[in-house]
Structure 1
Amino acid sequence: MSLADVLDPLQQPLFTVLDTPVSWTEVLGFGSGALCVWLVARQHLANWPIGIANNLFFILLFTQAGLYADAGLQVVFITLAAYGWWTWTHGSGPGSGRLPVRRTTRTEWAWLLAAGAVGTTGITLLLDRATDSTVPFWDALTTALSLMATYGQCRKRLESWWLWIAADLIYIPLYAHKELYLTSLLYIGFLTLCLAGLRNWSRDLAATGPRPAEVTV
C-alpha cells in the first residue's frame, strides 16, 4: 500500500458547506487545532503533541489549497513544538517547576520584528516567483506572524497572544477567500480562544508578580 492510498481517504469530502466540499483533513484539522489552542490557554503540556497532529493535517490541507507557505510553516511548527515541549518542562532550569509566564523583552521585540519583516519580504518574493500562489503577501505575512507567535508561546511570553490575534484576523478572511470555510470558522474560534488565553496568562503573570525575562540564546 502506497502513501497515496493511505492519504486519499482523508482528502475525500465528508460534507458540503456553501456548495464547497469539506474533507476529512479539514475536519480533523478543525478539531485538533481547537483542542490545541484550548490546552495552550490553560498551559497544559498536552497541547504540544495535539499541536503536532494538527500540523500534519494542515500540511495536507494547505498543499491542496495552494497555500504553500502555510504548508511549509507546519513543518517548522512541528520543530518548534518539540522545542516548546522541552522548554515548558525544562526551561526554568534543573529542579524548578513549570515555566512561568513572562513578558517579552525589548531585545526580543527588536529581533522578532526585524525577523518578521525580513521573513515576510523574502517569502512574498519566493511565493510570487516560484509558485502559483494567488495571495503571496498575505500568505507570507501570516507565516511570519505565526512563527513570531510560536516562539513566544514556546517561551511563555504573554505578548505571543497578541501576535496570534493579529494573525487570526488575517487568516479568517484569507481562508474564506480560498473557500476553506470550515478552517475560516476554526480561526474565528481560535480568535476567541486567544482572547481567553491572553486573559488567563495575564492573570497568571499578575499572580506570580513581575519578573525579568531570562536571557535567551
Structure 2
Amino acid sequence: MLEWILAEWMQIVGFATGAACVFLAARRNIWTYPLGIANNIVFLAVFVPAGLYAAAALQVVYLVLGVHGWVRWGRGVEQDKGYIARTPRRAVPWLVVAGIGGTAVLAWFLATFTDSQVAVADAATTAASLVAQYMLNRKWIENWFVWIGVDIAFVALSIVTGLWIVAALYVLFIGLCVGGYAGWRRVERTSAPGEVAAARV
C-alpha cells in the first residue's frame, strides 16, 4: 500500500485538491481558486508524461483563469455569495464558437506537432473546460451542465490513458457538479426578482 501511495502520490494530491476545489465552487466559496491553482500545478505534472498535452496546457491557462475568477469573486458583482446569474443569450453563440474553434485549433496542433493518440478527445475536453471555467468565473449557473459533459468525457479519456485515479476523481466531479447545480438553483430561487433580472442582462 505504501509503495502504491509513493508511486501515485501526485494523482492522489490532484484528487484531493480537485475534489476540494469543486466542492468549494459548489458552495460559492472563493477559496476554490487558490486550491484550484494548486490542483493545476499537480495535474500539469501528471498529464505531460501521460501524453495528454492539451490537458496539460489547459492547466497553465487555468492558472490565468483562476486569477481572473479570484479577482471577480473578490471584487466584482460575483463577490456576493447570493449572486447567481443565467448565461446571457448574446453570450451563447460566442461560447459555442469558442468551444468548436478551440477544439479545431487544438486538435490540429496536437495531430501536427505531438504524438498524441487522442488528439480530438483531448482538444474537445480542453476547449469545453475553458468555456466552463469562464462561465463559472461569471457565476453563470449553466456552467455546471458544461462541466458535467466535460467530466464524463474525462472519465473515458483517463481510463484510455491508464490514469485510473484521475478517472475516479472525475466520477466524483460529476456528483459534485450535480450537487453544485442543485445548490446554485436553490440560491437562485431565493433571489429577489430584481436581482435575477439584473443578472440576466
Does the pair score TM above 0.5?
yes
Show CA shifts across 1:24-82 (max 9, x none): 11111011000100110001111110000000000000001010000000011011011
Count of residues in correspondence between the two structures? 197
Within the alignment, does 1:91 sit opposite 2:80 as a pair?
no
State the partner residue of 1:165: 148
Q: Which amino acid aligns with 2:175?
A: T
Distance 2:65 2:177 in 1: 19
TM-aligned CA deviation for residue 138 of structure 1? 0.2
Are the equivalent residues in 1 in contact too, given 2:15–2:165 (CA < 8 A)? Answer: yes
Aligned pair partner of 1:153 in 107, 113, 136: 136
Percent sequence identity is 38
Within the alignment, does 1:15 sit opposite 2:4 as a pair?
yes
TM-aligned CA deviation for residue 185 of structure 1? 0.3
Aligned pair partner of 2:118 in 122, 132, 135: 135
Distance 1:201 1:109 in 2: 20
CA RMSD, aligned part only?
1.8
Distance 2:140 2:200 in 1: 11
Aligned pair partner of 1:73 in 18, 43, 58: 58
Distance 1:46 1:92 in 2: 17
Assess, with a 3 A threshold, how the Cα gap between structure 1 residues 98 and 61 changes in structure 2: closer, same or farther: same
Normalising by structure 2, we get a TM-score of: 0.93
- The structure richer in helix per residue is 2
Show CA shifts across 1:82-120 (max 9, x none): 110110121119xx8447110001111110001111100
Assess, with a 3 A threshold, how the Cα gap between structure 1 residues 214 and 199 changes in structure 2: closer, same or farther: closer
Aligned pair partner of 2:197 in 192, 196, 211: 211
State the partner residue of 1:174: 157
* Residue segments in structure 2 that go unaligned for 5+ positions in a row: none
Distance 1:154 1:99 in 2: 14
Are the equivalent residues in 1 in contact too, given 2:87–2:200 (CA < 8 A)? Answer: no
State the partner residue of 1:109: 92
Distance 2:170 2:146 in 1: 14
Q: Which amino acid aligns with 2:4?
A: F
State the partner residue of 2:32: 47
State the partner residue of 1:5: none
Distance 1:56 1:173 in 2: 22
- The structure richer in strand per residue is 1
TM-aligned CA deviation for residue 211 of structure 1? 2.4
Q: Which has the higher contact order (CA 8 A, sep 6+)?
A: 2
SS in 2 for 1:104: coil
Q: Which amino acid aligns with 1:184?
A: A
* Residue segments in structure 1 that go unaligned for 5+ positions in a row: 1-12
Q: Which amino acid aligns with 2:20?
A: L
Range that drifts further, 188-197 or 101-110:
101-110
Assess, with a 3 A threshold, how the Cα gap between structure 1 residues 111 and 99 changes in structure 2: closer, same or farther: farther
Show CA shifts across 1:124-154 (max 9, x none): 0100010000000000000011001000110
